[in-house]
Structure 1
Amino acid sequence: MEKKEFENEYARFWIENGIVFFVYKPNTVIDQEAAKKIVADRIQFQNKADFPVYCDIRGLKSADKAARDYLAKEGSSFTKGVAVLVDSPMSKIIGNFYMGLNRPTTPTRLFTNGDEALKYLQQFAS
């Protein structure tokens, strides 16, 4: 039986309409080891298949530089496209700056509106 939902100490994820939804739990703090676990769990959950990913980082309190670097590169594994939901226009500006430095390997955009994020991901859903 295919897994419908998965949860670890950092986040909860599920697949809906061909999109992986990944939502950080409130006040989550991650380091590089946590980032590695998060990415490994997501890839295993997806059965190593490529999916568009809706990543809600509004619950993320902080991530150290090593975690951010790891997520920017390895976090794109097995994704067709990524929409990152942030909580403010300032977070979006900071996130876009960071993505400019760390160039994700798949199309990635930041959003402050969940509906716009989903609309963006529709082009990658099969």
Structure 2
Amino acid sequence: MPLAIVLAVGLVIAVARRTELDLVSLDEDTPRLLGLNLSRGRLGFLVLSVLLSATAVAAAGTIGFVGLVAPHAARALVGRRHVRVVPVAVLLGAVLVCTADLVGRTVIAPAQLGAGLMTAMLGTPYFLYLLVRTRK
């Protein structure tokens, strides 16, 4: 229950401050011209992301590729606006973890492969594709 509360509060804060999040992801000057304290905004989003990441790791373990792949895939699907990216990234991350867990439990049944290993195996090809695409 405490994990669900922290995740719910963190998501509400992220959704409520989505406009600031869009501005912080721009260049250095635009947020300042629009009246946003850039250093305070970045610090606040950093603290929020650390809190949400730590809570997710406490609940599910170290499944690092979800944090690398899901936001990039969401951004590719719905664009750069965080009002769309955040919910889609959450859903894609959940689908990736559930798929990794399902595959890890069924590939060599009755033995199991860890969800972290399967997440890395499922997420690595897409992540490599992103790296190659950004070099071009």
Range class of TM-score, shorter chain: 0.3 to 0.5
Structure number having the greater strand percentage: 1
TM-score, normalising length: structure 2: 0.30
Structure number having the greater helix percentage: 2
